[in-house]
Structure 1
Amino acid sequence: MADEGLRPIIVKRIKKGGGGHHGGAWKIAYADFVTAMMAFFLLMWLLGSTTKGDLNGISEYFKTPLKVAMQGGSGSGDSSSVIPGGGKDLTRKDGQVKAGDESTVKKTYNLTAAKAQLEREESQRLMTLKEKLEQKIESSAALQKFKNQLLLDFTSEGLRIQIVDEQKRPMFQVAKSELAPYTAEILREIGPVLNDVPNKIGLSGHTDATPYFTETGYSNWELSADRANASRRALVQGGMNDNKVMRVVGLGSAVYLDRNDPFNPINRRISIIVMNKKTEEGLMRDAGKLEVGTGTEGAIDAAAKPR
């Protein structure tokens, strides 16, 4: 019994711990990582498939979410926005959709009607110009005494202003291109009025059928062209913008105003055409090609009527 008190006391210490492969904490961390990557790729996909306008809406939403939610705006109720709150799904691009069906009104443009409207406006503009010229002829002492030599009418090319010869009052010196003093005065009075419209102008010189030819080959063709150019200079001197002139031609005796009498002094004239848009475009398209026909000059009974 005495030996029992001498027995050694043995203390067993149990070392706790297990193999690493038995733990599960890494699985949770891996699941969090995969979830984060999924969210990241989903965000990249949304950003790549969203328009710039919708991105701005998203940006505004996150800057002031309460303001956008309460007051509306892009990102608050658009069906195309990634922010919930409107439309049926994210694939729609029409914005908020009403419950009821609403017919879509398509805008159409009638080009023919628009062109016709522009032509009417231009015709009215040229008509107003004609009235201004007629008023100036009646009110101007310099023009009133020559009104029988000023003919105004409309042709297919636009408003035509013709200054014609009279037997006792020629516009030019015989066989020369120098303007008579009264002719230069008429042109200087008319010039500033032509600036009232944006239309371009063309000038053409005409002679009668009296033969004219020099040893150098100078004929009615050159003479009519020189007279047309002299008229252009007088218009510019009177105040007309030089860049308004689009055409200066000499037609010699090819086109008569009085077809029954080719030698009538009225056939010697300067014709000023205030061109309509169609004529301007035709000249630009055809590189200045000029077609002279009976329709452009008009008949004597209509054109020779004093204005």
Structure 2
Amino acid sequence: MSANAVKSRDFHRLSSVWNIIFNCIAGGFAILCIFPFLFVVLISFTDEGSLARDGYQLIPAKWSLEAYKYVFGSGDTLLRSYGVTIAVTVIGTLVSLLLISLYAYAISRKSFKYRNFFAFFAFFTMLFNGGLVPTYIIVTQLLGLKDSIWALVLPLAVNAFYIMILRTFYITSVPDALIESAKIDGAGEFRTFLRIVLPLSLPGLATIGLFSTLGYWNDWFNALLYIDNPNLVPLQSMLMRIETSMQFIMQNSQNSSLSLEAMRSMPQDTSRMAMVVLATGPIIFAYPFFQRYFIQGLTIGAVKE
């Protein structure tokens, strides 16, 4: 074995002491990332009176479920909004993956005559857009999607940035020789895409799928614009309306003794934390399904030595 090989092996080998130190550092960073959310969960289960008296504490002096009772006080409305958000997230993510993967694959192939035009067309939308008013007119009047679940799905279905990421992944990770061999065997474009390209593109698709899932789950603005039907209000918009109602009661509490009494019995700070838990908790469980491919997908286009 050469001297350089021995030095390289010794350089990459860590002693048990340094291994423990680096593991402790990594664990500390992990705790710093997780602690804010855990602290929000603890505050949401804190009694409002003890929170106002003692402030924010790691271990609450008195536990309470009043915040969640207040948020769930709308009856089945909140559960319905959960159902709408889950449906929009699942349908939107599937539609988004379908459209983005096909578009990115087309502009990644050198044999496609108009690849430069459609690549520029997607890139141009990253710099300029038609504006809010024209978009509203197209969605509501031209497409007639107002008070429709598709008004929450289609505006976010295609993202030019995701197209560019997936195009780069196709170019760097899918060998042209495989596609050419499939064509020699008589496979068409769609069969080649389904049988060869997609199985090799799972890391990129998982990354784009996670980004799309987060986008649909956290979207509230499209519901504010296009949804008036209370049965189609998603979770984020519903929580925003609850927050708005709380602020209205607080701002007008001095004008009415009834409003003052309602404000005193209303868990203000803890209910806000409960909304954060309800809004972010379920989407956290989606990450393990993408974790297997997520790191590899983030290194799309990385330079290899």
Bigger Cα Rg: 1
Determine which structure has the larger helix proportion and give its number.
Answer: 2
Please give the range of the TM-score, normalised by the shorter of the 2 chains: under 0.3
Determine which structure has the larger strand proportion and give its number.
Answer: 1
Q: Which fold has the larger relative contact order, with Cα–Cα distance below 8 Å and residues 6 or more apart in sequence? A: 2
Normalising by structure 2, we get a TM-score of 0.21
Normalising by structure 1, we get a TM-score of 0.21
